[in-house]
Amino acid sequence: MRAAWRWSAILGAVGVSATFPLWAGSPYGLELGISVALFAVLSTGLNLVYGYTGLLSFAQVAYFGIAGYTSALLWTNFEFPMLAGALMGGLLAALLGLLIGYASLRLSRHAFAIVSLSLALLCQIVSRDWVSLTRGPMGIPGLSAPTVAFAGIGQVSFDRPAAFYYLMLSYAILVLALLYRLVHSRIGRAFLAMKLNQPLAESQGIDPLGYRLLAISISAAVTGIAGGLYVFHLTIVDPSIFDFYYTEAMLIMVIIGGPGSFWGVLAASLAFSMIPDLLRFSTDLRMIFYGIVLVTAMLAFPRGLGGLLPARIAVPWRCRAQA
Amino acid sequence: MGPGVDLGLPLQLLINGLVLGVLYALIAMGLALIFGVLEIVNFAHGELYMLGAVAAYFLTTSLSVGYWGTIALTTAGAVGLGALFYEGLLAFIAGRGFERSILLTLGVSMVLQNGALYVLTATPRMETTPYSYRSVILGDVSIPLLRVFALGLALLAFAALYVLLHHTRMGQAIRGVAQNRAAALMVGIDTHAVSRLAVAIGVGLSGLAGAALAPVYSVHPTMGVAFVFKAFAIVIIGGLGNLPGCAVAAILLGLLESVVGGFFSPTLVDSLGFLAMIMLLLFKPEGLFGRGVRL
């Protein structure tokens, strides 16, 4: 019964999103659609590390931007295809995630939060100052997504927003399906066990560092690939790819959706990619809005809106670690 | 030393580095003090420093308050703001989870930074004082007078903090709470008041840094980001919550940055703190000066 309900909801959502360009009506609607698909990947990536393994990561935007720069530079200098460049970017992001994870997690989760934030800030500074590589604030312009011939459809140019929307949507569905499988597998249960009671999990033979590094690198890779693709939609990559705006948006989506709640975070990323746009906020006001939401959430409902649900529904997550 | 070897440059770099390091220490020690007592990493610390600088700018420029008056007023204001920050926000989440405190202070930082951008725009402003453009000359080395004052103020603040922590009952209470909160509560220490005091001092130090540096660097809404980025590295290198460790790490980083900056690119200088932090975590994860809270 519940399974049937869930599957019809999923099929309905896929149906709605697959036909979206037909009734979106305007380029603006398509932009919003691309942004929803992007943030679904980014926030679920953060949810994997923060929600499931309990590591607060501020480095997601660094993975996103570094992979964006990687795929843009490979495309510009070596004519790498977009997909290959994005994969390389994802790989680099995963390696970087492993480095900061390995270095800081031997100390504490606290150190991981601080080091990951430092990485994000460092990327901002380096992308601006290392002019010989990144061209500084000028950025790398002129990126253009490829035209690919599909059997039965013919030539599809991913420069067109509708085509790019489908690309991003397919990637989002792929990532969501993979991560859903992951968190509901043995590995996902190990993540959760570690978060609920680390000494107990260790006594059962779960190696916390290994599992945490696994979560970090998967999350970094999917976030990075999203960045590597997205810059081809932006057509330019400049230091603003590391903007704190992305971090804050991802955090809001995960926190309001409820860390560790797969569908809650997905719903929140849908809502929060659209609300500020629909309210026509300028960037400054949007950040202030997000900041106020964050402060309010921390004071009033630290487990997300899902945490306000009756305990009966929240039972699987009830013993979520507080510290 | 043969002819042609110029002692001026190395000496100049050394002194610049020392000044820079002491100012890093001012910000990092506030961060470490708040962490030691409350186990809260204050992500809004850079923005509080920025507020101090903005306040100093407007006091000098719009209200024509003198240099020393501005320093005193801004520091006092920051101490008050710190107490308010604790009573209004931090008191509700102290001891309720590390992530929660990070996210709360991060939210505060975003509101302050973007609020300042909205009100002041991103244009950098320069505060001029009667002491601007004057330097102290020592042999081959010349140091801008305002940096000398900033250095003196910072050293004075350290001395005051040391006396407070080690020679007063209030300081004893602060150190007690930092060592063991429950035990401190049991022997009758008012942990609430101690926490408020620690946050007030921490924010006061960053306000003092803001006021002292406003005429040295330009004042703009995102000025706190670069500074707090260094401060985080320093706090990790010195050992979380270890005040003397922090001070030493800050001065070392300032010296290193200044010397490297004399010969290499600015990108490398900005990355130094981060690289040092990663290296340290890889090879000596407990921090330069060992684990544990020591105030």
Percentage of residues of chain A with pLDDT beyond 90: 27
Buried b or exposed e, range A251-280, using 16+ CB within 10 angstroms: bbbbbbbbbbbbebbbbbbbebbeebeeee
Q: How confident is the model at residue A28 (pLDDT cuts 50, 70, 90)?
A: confident
pLDDT in tens, B9-63: 788 888 888 888 988 999 898 988 998 888 888 889 999 999 999 999 999 888 8
Q: Can you name the residues that pair with B135 across neighbouring β-strands? A: B144
Residues of A with Cβ-Cβ distance to B104 under 8 angstroms: 294-295, 298-299
Of A218-227, A273-282, B85-94, the range with the highest mean pLDDT is A218-227
* Nearest-angstrom CA–CA distance, A87 and A224: 8
Nearest one of A98, A92, A97, A123 to A241, comparing CA atoms: A123
* Nearest-angstrom CA–CA distance, A199 and A218: 24
Q: Which residue has the higher pLDDT, A105 or B240?
A: A105
* Nearest-angstrom CA–CA distance, A295 and A190: 31
pLDDT in tens, B155-180: 999 999 999 989 998 888 888 888 88
pLDDT computed for residue B227 by the predictor:
82
Nearest one of A223, A226, A247, A174 to A34, comparing CA atoms: A226
| pLDDT value at A157 more than 80 | no
* Nearest-angstrom CA–CA distance, A304 and A297: 7
* Nearest-angstrom CA–CA distance, A28 and A6: 30
What is the pTM (predicted TM-score) of this model?
0.83
| pLDDT value at B284 more than 80 | no
3-class secondary structure per residue, chain B: CCCCCCCHHHHHHHHHHHHHHHHHHHHHHHHHHHHHHHCCCCCCHHHHHHHHHHHHHHHHHCCCCCHHHHHHHHHHHHHHHHHHHHHHHHHHHCCCCHHHHHHHHHHHHHHHHHHHHHHHCCCCECCCCCCCCCEEEECCEEEEHHHHHHHHHHHHHHHHHHHHHHHCHHHHHHHHHHHCHHHHHHCCCCHHHHHHHHHHHHHHHHHHHHHHHCCCCCECCCHHHHHHHHHHHHHHHHCCCEHHHHHHHHHHHHHHHHHHHHHCCHHHHHHHHHHHHHHHHHHCCCCCCCCCCEC
| pLDDT value at A25 more than 80 | no
Nearest one of A139, A102, A81, A79 to A220, comparing CA atoms: A102
Nearest one of B133, B243, B156 to B208, comparing CA atoms: B156
Cβ of B93 within 8 Å of Cβ of A298? The answer is yes
A181 near B CB under 8 A: no
pLDDT computed for residue A46 by the predictor:
95
Domain segments of chain B as ranges:
17-222
Q: How confident is the model at residue B293 (pLDDT cuts 50, 70, 90)?
A: very low
Residues of B with Cβ-Cβ distance to A119 under 8 angstroms: 274
pLDDT in tens, A239-290: 988 988 888 889 889 988 888 888 888 988 988 888 777 777 777 788 888 8
pLDDT computed for residue A59 by the predictor:
93
Which among B90, B267, B272, B283 is the top mutation candidate for probing chain A, defined by the most A β-carbons within 10 Å of its own β-carbon?
B267
Cβ of A117 within 8 Å of Cβ of B232? The answer is yes
Q: Average model confidence (pLDDT) for chain A? A: 84
What's the start-to-end Cα distance of chain A, in Å? 36
| Span of A55-69, B41-55, B154-168, B271-285 with lowest mean pLDDT | B271-285
Nearest-Cα distance to chain A for B118, in Å, is: 6
* Nearest-angstrom CA–CA distance, B214 and B153: 14
A209 near B CB under 8 A: no
What is the set of domains in chain A, with CATH numbers?
35-317 (1.10.3470)
Cβ of A121 within 8 Å of Cβ of B225? The answer is yes
- B103: nearest CB among A54, A110, A294: A294
B91 near A CB under 8 A: no
- B107: nearest CB among A103, A126, A291: A291
Tokens at residue B280, please? 């340290």
Of A254-263, B105-114, B115-124, B225-234, the range with the highest mean pLDDT is B105-114
Nearest one of A69, A91, A87 to A140, comparing CA atoms: A69
- A288: nearest CB among B43, B118, B235: B118
Q: Which residue has the higher pLDDT, A224 or A304?
A: A224
Nearest-Cα distance to chain B for A18, in Å, is: 35
A298 near B CB under 8 A: yes
B31 near A CB under 8 A: no
* Nearest-angstrom CA–CA distance, A260 and A319: 12
Nearest one of B74, B24, B111 to B207, comparing CA atoms: B74
How many CA within 13 A on the CB side of residue A312?
0
Cβ of A109 within 8 Å of Cβ of B98? The answer is yes
Q: What number is the average pLDDT over the span B103-125?
A: 88
* Nearest-angstrom CA–CA distance, A50 and A69: 25
What's the start-to-end Cα distance of chain B, in Å? 44
| pLDDT value at A114 more than 70 | yes
3-class secondary structure per residue, chain A: CHHHHHHHHHHHHHHHHHHHHHHCCCHHHHHHHHHHHHHHHHHHHHHHHHHHCCCCCCCHHHHHHHHHHHHHHHHHHHCCCHHHHHHHHHHHHHHHHHHHHHHHHCCCHHHHHHHHHHHHHHHHHHHHHCHHHHCHHHCECCCCCCEEEECCCEEEECCCHHHHHHHHHHHHHHHHHHHHHHHCCHHHHHHHHHHHCHHHHHHCCCCHHHHHHHHHHHHHHHHHHHHHHHHHHHCCECHHHHCHHHHHHHHHHHHHHCCCCHHHHHHHHHHHHHHHHHCCCCHHHHHHHHHHHHHHHHHHCCCCHHHHCCHHHHHHHCCCCCC
How many CA within 13 A on the CB side of residue A168?
35
Q: Whats the size of chain B, residue-wise?
A: 295
Q: Using CA coordinates, name the residue in chain A closest to B88.
A: A299
| Span of A20-29, A72-81, B268-277 with lowest mean pLDDT | A20-29
Residue whose structure tokens are 């999923």? A10
Cβ of A251 within 8 Å of Cβ of B103? The answer is yes
| pLDDT value at B208 more than 90 | yes
Residues of A with Cβ-Cβ distance to B271 under 8 angstroms: 122, 125-126
Cβ of A302 within 8 Å of Cβ of B96? The answer is yes
Task: Classify the C-alpha dihedral A20-A26-A27-A32 as positive or negative.
Answer: negative
Nearest-Cα distance to chain B for A277, in Å, is: 18
pLDDT computed for residue A302 by the predictor:
65
| pLDDT value at A323 more than 50 | no
Q: What number is the average pLDDT over the span A41-67?
A: 93
Cβ of B265 within 8 Å of Cβ of A129? The answer is yes
A251 near B CB under 8 A: yes
Q: How confident is the model at residue B215 (pLDDT cuts 50, 70, 90)?
A: confident
B282 near A CB under 8 A: yes
Q: Can you name the residues that pair with B125 across neighbouring β-strands? A: B219
| pLDDT value at B85 more than 90 | yes
Cβ neighbour number for residue A161 with a 10 Å cutoff: 18
pLDDT computed for residue B290 by the predictor:
55
Residues of A with Cβ-Cβ distance to B229 under 8 angstroms: 118, 121-122, 125
| pLDDT value at B73 more than 90 | yes
B267 near A CB under 8 A: yes
Cβ of A117 within 8 Å of Cβ of B89? The answer is no
Which among A122, A123, A209 is the top mutation candidate for probing chain B, defined by the most B β-carbons within 10 Å of its own β-carbon?
A122
Q: Can you name the residues that pair with B290 across neighbouring β-strands? A: none
Whether the complex's predicted ipTM surpasses the cut of 0.90:
no
The torsion region of residue A136 among left (phi > 0), alpha (psi -120 to 50) and beta comes to: left
